[in-house]
Structure 1
């Protein structure tokens, strides 16, 4: 058995201890760098979140500040007068292009200032020749009052699912694009209306303009459901026979 020099053992142990210490130092430095990186990321996320919240507050502030009186003699910032017993809905003092831009990106910001409505029964029945709308909580159209007692008509946001929706919109808007459903719509020009009964009934003055694009994802789902429904009908009919 060979003799082991104690001095070599000591040197080996010292080398191992030095290596372990170096690894420990590197691990500590790496850990500190990672912690600093995470802290910086957290600060960036917090900063971005704060900026987003501020932008949202500013957007809401712009909308609320745009409330304007319609009747002469009303104090600035007061909502337009409604019929007795109705909830007050303010008018907007915003340029048309800003209204269209808000509708295209964040339509929910306009909802508090809009009155849902639909074609009146007299229009649908053909009793009257002109296009008339009346207040209806589930209506497919929004009536929006702007400065100067003017009224804009906008489609209620959402996808077009049924042909009946398109037929109603065709009475109020010129529609460009694919007629395939389901589809998404884009507002280019609101329709305008004249108030007959404030906040309750309107008559169309000028048609607006929309473009419609087929929604391929929704269409694929709808087509699949249609095929399944047809297959189920065939199975039920075959069993009945």
Structure 2
């Protein structure tokens, strides 16, 4: 009986020891996986920043962010804008240059233009006609790149992404009525258009003023 009890205790002790060893092994593996995941995330972020720095260099000088940044992205080359959508649109309409530090220039991809895919795909491109901005809630907002539209091809390019509420021949001033929206395919690099925006085109006021003055001068000369 004593021998049997001793054997049972030894078996129990061995089981507890084995179970502890297995638990420690699982904990060690869990820690290794967690550390590896953190390292991969850091590498992915470093790669994203390297790409963004390269994009920013080819996009010309950038100003320091003057608008609020989402805190967990403040170290990123291109941070996330910590503004609600209506605030973003208001800034764009009044001082669009303030959005440049948050914007990735992009254009419709060659795969869409060639008909290889049905989706309207956008990809980063330093000379792109549009800006893609990530907002505080993870939304990708599509905006026309600020500036006068000097060529008809610019207007046609934007036509894939924005409906028009008013028409004008180039050179034309652009008015943002509603931004577009996209969902990410490759973070910060490629997107599919989800919802078209809307813009209005208006004749360049300086050009219109010059034309009117020339017409008035011509009328006086003919009179």
Q: For the structure 1 residues 126 and 218, does the alpha-carbon distance in structure 2 shift closer, same or farther, using more than 3 Å as the test?
A: farther
Q: Tell me, what secondary structure is at the counterpart of 2:149?
A: coil
1:146 deviation in Å? 0.4
1:216 deviation in Å? 4.2
Contact 1:118–1:140 (Cα < 8 Å) also in 2: yes
Q: Tell me, what secondary structure is at the counterpart of 2:72?
A: coil
Contact 2:168–2:203 (Cα < 8 Å) also in 1: yes
Q: Deviations along 1:107-163, whole A, 9 cap, x unmatched? A: 110000000011100111111111000001111100000022210000000001111
Distance in 1 separating the partners of 2:84 and 2:137: 12
Residue 79 of structure 1 corresponds to which residue in structure 2? 73
1:102 deviation in Å? 0.7
Residue 15 of structure 2 corresponds to which residue in structure 1? none
The count of residues paired between Structure 1 and Structure 2 equals 147
After TM superposition, the runs of 4+ consecutive aligned structure 1 residues lying more than 6 A away are none
Q: TM-score scaled to structure 1, two decimals?
A: 0.57
Q: Tell me, what secondary structure is at the counterpart of 2:83?
A: coil
Residue 125 of structure 2 corresponds to which residue in structure 1? 136
Q: TM-score scaled to structure 2, two decimals?
A: 0.61
Q: Tell me, what secondary structure is at the counterpart of 1:110?
A: helix
Q: Tell me, what secondary structure is at the counterpart of 2:88?
A: helix
Distance in 1 separating the partners of 2:73 and 2:84: 18
Residue 69 of structure 2 corresponds to which residue in structure 1? 67
Contact 1:100–1:188 (Cα < 8 Å) also in 2: no
Q: 2:98 aligns with which of 102, 106, 109?
A: 109
Contact 2:84–2:135 (Cα < 8 Å) also in 1: no
Q: For the structure 1 residues 137 and 221, does the alpha-carbon distance in structure 2 shift closer, same or farther, using more than 3 Å as the test?
A: farther
Runs of 5+ unmatched residues, structure 1: 1-59, 69-76, 82-86, 223-241
Residue 145 of structure 1 corresponds to which residue in structure 2? 134
Distance in 2 separating the partners of 1:164 and 1:123: 17
Q: 1:198 aligns with which of 182, 187, 196?
A: 187
Q: Deviations along 1:10-42, whole A, 9 cap, x unmatched? A: xxxxxxxxxxxxxxxxxxxxxxxxxxxxxxxxx
